[in-house]
Amino acid sequence: MATRSKSSQRWLKEHFSDPYVKKAQAEGLRSRAAYKLEELVARDRLLRPGMVVVDLGAAPGGWSQWLRQELERLDPARPGRVVALDILDMPPLAGVEFLHGDFREDAVLSRLDAMLGGSPVDLVLSDMAPNKSGMDAVDQPRMMHLAELAMDFADRRLRPGGTFLIKLFQGTGFDQYVRELRQRYAAVAIRKPSASRKRSPEVYALAQGKR
């Protein structure tokens, strides 16, 4: 049996002692990432009854699960829609429409458009990240490529005045990407939720008021 590396052992120790991991398990949430979204939504009041939300890179479903619960809590009569998409499979979530596929493929986007049935999208979320190699020179370009594709997706499917929330890694290409967001949206802010690990380069760009 292979022994785990020191970095792997450190990650496991950190993960299972993480208060957000423990809280997610206690509350029946699929991922600690739900608390990042909860803080971002509360701070900027991003949700309203009846919204249509697309969650890119949704697996394992922490964001979609929390969104579905919160939209139903806001107004059970107008719960809106949560459409989740991921290249990885995801166990079903009640009230969440899941599309299994790679959003970089035209055929998958056509299936998504068919699911939406012409409904304008109010909020596009992306918590996507590439599989990390541990080398910034490899990981950062991969991350920015995904981010560019997500921005293009929002350009095409988000309604005027809509909101785009995306995870980014700080590094090469980050400043230019934020400048591009500011050309497309009325207001852009960078957020670092409490549930984001301090040593992580991740931040979230919140772009509101699509032009």
Q: For the segment 47-96, what is each residue's pLDDT rounded down to a tens digit?
A: 999 999 999 999 999 999 999 999 999 999 999 999 999 999 999 999 99
State the pLDDT confidence band at 149, using cuts at 50, 70 and 90. Answer: very high
What span, in angstroms and rounded, lies between the C-alpha atoms of 164 and 128? 13
Report whether CATH 1.10.10.10 matches the domain 6-210. Answer: no
> By percentage, how much of the chain surpasses pLDDT 90?
72
Three-state DSSP state, 191: strand
Stated as kind and residue range, the H or E segment containing 94 is: none
Q: What is the pLDDT of residues 20-54, one digit of tens each?
A: 566 766 666 667 788 999 999 999 999 999 999 99
Residues of each annotated binding site? 61, 63, 86, 102, 127
Look up the pTM and report it. 0.87
pLDDT of residue 134: 78
Active site residue 167: yes
The pLDDT score that the predictor gives to residue 11 is: 44
Binding site for S-adenosyl-L-methionine: which residues?
Answer: 61, 63, 86, 102, 127
Helix ranges, 122-210 (H)? 136-157, 174-184
The catalytic residue among 22, 23, 132, 167 is 167
| Token output for 162 | 């809509």
